[in-house]
Amino acid sequence: MPGYFDLSGRIALVTGASRGLGLAMAQALAEAGATVILNGRHAETLKVAADRILDRGFSAETSVFDVTNRHAADAAIQSIVARHQRLDILIANAGITHRAQLADWTSETWGAVLEANLSACFFLAQSAAVPMRSQGHGRIIFTTSVVGILGRRTVHAYAASKSGLAGLTRSLAAELGEYGITCNAIAPGWFETELTASLVADKAFVARINDRVPLRRWGKPHDLGGTAIFLASDAAAYLTAQQIIVDGGLSATM
């Protein structure tokens, strides 16, 4: 893949990449020439995901750690840099959700979602920015959500964390731009993944969403691939502090 979108020689860490959107974005970067390091908490699941990329002749490795463990995450990034002498791309995608009526939320569940979806991304970016500053180049990409823009009942911490991540995108972009580092976010809408399998099985719910989406379908994980490549590549060299919504037009229509 020549030209603007060529990622040959780039080293990319994608968190939450054992399945779903994270794996799809990792596959896309690998197809564009990057060496991708897939992160997750379970070695066996990660190996299966990495083998899918390797079997197609692309470059992939694994890095097993929990993103909420700041010391483990920092050590993993240092290990990647020691092995490859650089880190060019961070896609901080790992996250969780929790659904409950307002009265049923506890400080523990609220804190767990904020820790995984927002704080972990901040500290991953803090660690990744060290080698990126030294090399004068870097791409930090967060996975936010259309829920952080439109809101949805019962997922209060998820909505708050994704809104906060959009703000973090802008503040990091403002600070890191002078070092050649861009920071952007991808906000997916409704996508068919393992995490939404129960919703996809509800035909009435699927039809209700499709009726609101101009493209009349849910997203497939590979639909995020092009956006990930774009933001990670030289094609987006002058694009920073932005949140790109990939939702089939859902958030732009009434």
Residue-level pLDDT at 2? 59
Selected catalytic residue, list 4, 158, 179, 238:
158
CATH number, domain 3-191+221-245: 3.40.50.720
Please enumerate in sequence order all residues whose Cβ is within 8 A of that of 7, keeping only pairs 6 or more positions apart, or say none: 1, 29, 32, 33, 34, 89, 229, 232, 233
pLDDT in tens, the chain (254 residues): 458 999 999 999 999 999 999 999 999 999 999 999 999 999 999 999 999 999 999 999 999 999 999 999 999 999 999 999 999 999 999 999 999 999 999 999 999 999 999 999 999 999 999 999 999 999 999 999 999 999 899 999 999 999 999 999 999 999 999 999 999 999 999 999 887 888 899 999 999 999 999 999 999 999 999 999 999 999 999 999 999 999 999 999 97
Task: At 190, list the tokens.
Answer: 């409704």
Domain residue extents for the chain: 3-191+221-245
Question: Is 4 annotated as catalytic?
Answer: no
Residue-level pLDDT at 1? 45
DSSP 218: P
Instruction: Locate all alpha helices (DSSP H) within the chain, ordered by sequence.
Output: 20-31, 43-54, 70-84, 107-114, 120-135, 147-150, 156-176, 197-200, 203-212, 225-232
Residue-level pLDDT at 199? 85
Cβ proximity of 87 and 80 under 8 Å: yes
